[in-house]
Amino acid sequence: MNYRIEASHLTLDYVPEACELTVTLQGTDISWSWSNKPFLVLSDKTALILTDGDCESSVHDTGVSKGVRAVYKNLRDAEGKLYPYVVSTEVSVNPDTGMVKAEARVTEDGMGEIAALAYPPRMSFDVAEGEGYTVLPRMQGAIIPAGHKYTFHDGLLYERDAYIPVYGQIRKGNGGYAAIVETPYDGRYSVVGDEIQPYFITSLGKMNYARSVLYSFFPEGDFNTVAKLYRAYISERGELITLQEKITRNPKVEYLIGCPVVHTGTAVHIHPASHFYDPDHPENNDYNCPFSETGRMLTELKKKGVEKAYLHLDGWGKQGYDNLHPDPFPVHEGAGGAAGMKALQETCTELGFYFGIHDQYRDYYYDAPSFDLDNALMYIDGGHPYHDFWNGGPHSFLCAKLALDYVRRNYNEFERLGIQLDGSYLDVFSVVELDECFNPNHLMTREECAEARVRCFSFLTDRGIIPSSEEPVGFTMGALALCHHAPFYTTDWGDPTADNVGIPIPFFSLVYHDCLVTPWFGLRGKGGWGIAGTDRGLYWALLTGGTIYYDIDASAEDVEFGKIALEFNRRVALCELTSHELIDGHPRRRRSTFSDGTVVECDFDAETFTITYPDGRTVSGN
């Protein structure tokens, strides 16, 4: 049966038996259509195409949305075997907003029987090379030109594959759309040629709630349009928490504006089972920099003209960096112990610097004094994660539901020792994939994992400590004030000569710039972790309005040069990044505009930049 739904500026034509949908923008010849059939994937990799079963459909009008419900049952595989699963779907449109929603719920599935639901189908993107592109939220963001030759693995939402759960596609002169995954915690996507297939995995072994994707179609626009549609979406939901609001809750956050980050380490111990262990040069497996030496270097940095700085201190615990978590105490004795760490904190305070530390509550080390496998994540089969890559060697993962108790215990210990923390970096909480746990004593969905991680950040805020973490993902944005970095998806993150995957764009910053302080590496040179070998990190700091890193032994010349970026961040940190442009369509010439009217232009090939402030003052450099 063919259904037609009219909305404010859209017409939907929908044949549920064939799962064929066409969305047409009224008054234009612009339309978008689904290009494939939705399907279930079972745990044994059997695929069940929904339209191979029976379909019952009906109109559903709530008064605020108009749609069609379709129920697929009596599903069969390629050999005709019958399965009991029922997939209830609804395609609807809100007449006021023109937003189209596609939702599906699976029932009658047993524990562990289903692997994934590929619904809604892909939007057709039959566009010639050079006539359009896909907007992907991979790390800071990228546009992927039509006809690309890249190979993508499937993407996880709320991880490096997708800092935020939104993507889009633009056809030159022929409209575009934004797709917002409304149920992102168990969401994924795959890139199939030039088309994007959203799909969903189970939660605790079952497809036990409705999954949905929300679409917004527009007759003209670009990646800025997609970003701003998502910003409006989270703002309406009360999820856009700006830096100004975070400053109100924790006034220390204001210090970060126009402030460089100084990242340095104290101690290293490499376990013999670690990937990094050097059996041929055992002297490389244990070393430390005394707290007093770090204090001396910071004092010298102050003399070079650094007016304020945020210290990010690694490796302060008993066995140094990435060891013994969640039990890092006592403070490393070889570096000076608790008294030495307290003296370093006091030195920072005297210098007018902020004292922040690295901490960790996911990697759960076997040699931690409180280690108990019952507290680790449990898989559906009763097993547990095991890793030995990092410095501390063998470890599992701590269930995030238990993390806050350890955070509270450890920060009470800092208070007992008289060490006053200005900031704390809870490692990996805002970048690694969300966990689920099948231990009945602390059963946890991925959404509950996200909530548990956020509670740890909020605990820090309540103690007057600035919360930070590795890279920014959407579910942490209400709680984080600072991240380690938010660079780009490159062909090899660890290779400073790597290439960009697609054309890099500050997609994340177009949504969240004024909600987070983001520092960038690469003040003078090119390339780095997540920065292509052709690009200067300084230019991306300017184009995104971010701050910068200073090396602890930075030269006076570098300190002076960096002040250009620091002053720029001070001016625009609380402003929205309103637009970003490829000047004349050239990917190496860029322009960013902020809500106060400040404009910055960077030419990556000519290696020049120009900042124009609202009062007409300009600053140029290279």
How confident is the model over 176-228, as pLDDT tens digits? 999 999 999 999 999 999 999 999 999 999 999 999 999 999 999 999 999 99
Per-residue burial over 406-419, b = 16 or more CB atoms within 10 Å of its CB, e = otherwise: bbeebbeebeebeb
Is the bond leading into 120 cis (omega within 30 degrees of zero)? yes
**pTM passes above 0.95:** yes
**What is the torsion angle, in degrees rounded to the nearest 10, for the CA atoms of residue 461, residue 463, residue 469 and residue 472?**
0
pLDDT at 515 over 90: yes
What are the E-state strand segments in 34-97?
39-42, 47-49, 54-61, 66-73, 75-76, 82-83, 86-93
pLDDT at 162 over 80: yes
Token match 């069969």: residue?
Answer: 76
CB 49 within 8 A of CB 72: no
Q: Which pLDDT value is given to residue 484?
A: 97
Q: Which pLDDT value is given to residue 63?
A: 87
How confident is the model over 415-459, as pLDDT tens digits? 999 999 999 999 999 999 999 999 999 999 999 999 999 999 999
What's 207-259 look like in SS3? Answer: CCCCEEEEEEEECCCCHHHHHHHHHHHHHHCCCCCCHHHHHHHCHHHHHHCCC
**pLDDT (average), residues 306-318:** 98
Q: Which pLDDT value is given to residue 15?
A: 97
Token match 């290293």: residue?
Answer: 268
CB 360 within 8 A of CB 326: yes
**pLDDT (average), residues 305-311:** 97
Q: Which pLDDT value is given to residue 37?
A: 97
Q: Residue 87: which of 124, 126, 48, 128 has the closest Cα?
A: 48
CB 83 within 8 A of CB 76: yes
| Distance spanning both ends of the chain, measured CA to CA | 63
pLDDT at 404 over 80: yes
**pLDDT (average), residues 533-555:** 97
Q: Residue 358: which of 458, 274, 426 has the closest Cα?
A: 426
CB 225 within 8 A of CB 511: no
pLDDT at 1 over 90: no
Place 313 in a pLDDT band, splitting at 50, 70 and 90. Answer: very high
Q: Which pLDDT value is given to residue 291?
A: 98
**pLDDT (average), residues 321-342:** 98
Q: What is the mean pLDDT of the chain?
A: 96
Q: At what angle do helices 337-351 and 291-303 cross, to 10 degrees?
A: 10
Q: Which domains does the chain have, with CATH numbers?
A: 3-236 (2.70.98.30), 243-265+286-361+400-576 (3.20.20.80)
Per-residue burial over 453-479, b = 16 or more CB atoms within 10 Å of its CB, e = otherwise: bbebbebbbebebbbbbbbbbbbbbbb
What tokens does 96 get? 């006021």
Q: Which pLDDT value is given to residue 181?
A: 98
Q: Which pLDDT value is given to residue 275?
A: 94
pLDDT at 95 over 90: no
Place 97 in a pLDDT band, splitting at 50, 70 and 90. Answer: confident
**pLDDT (average), residues 70-98:** 95
Rounded to whole angstroms, what are the CA distances from 40 to 44, 474, 552? Answer: 11, 27, 53
Helix (H, G, I), strand (E, B) or coil at 480: coil
pLDDT at 494 over 80: no
User: What is the arrangement of strands in the sheet containing 155-156, beginning at the earlier edge strand?
Assistant: 47-49, 39-42, 114-118, 195-201, 187-192, 155-156
How many Cα atoms sit within 13 Å of 454 on the Cβ side?
A: 15
Q: Which pLDDT value is given to residue 496?
A: 80
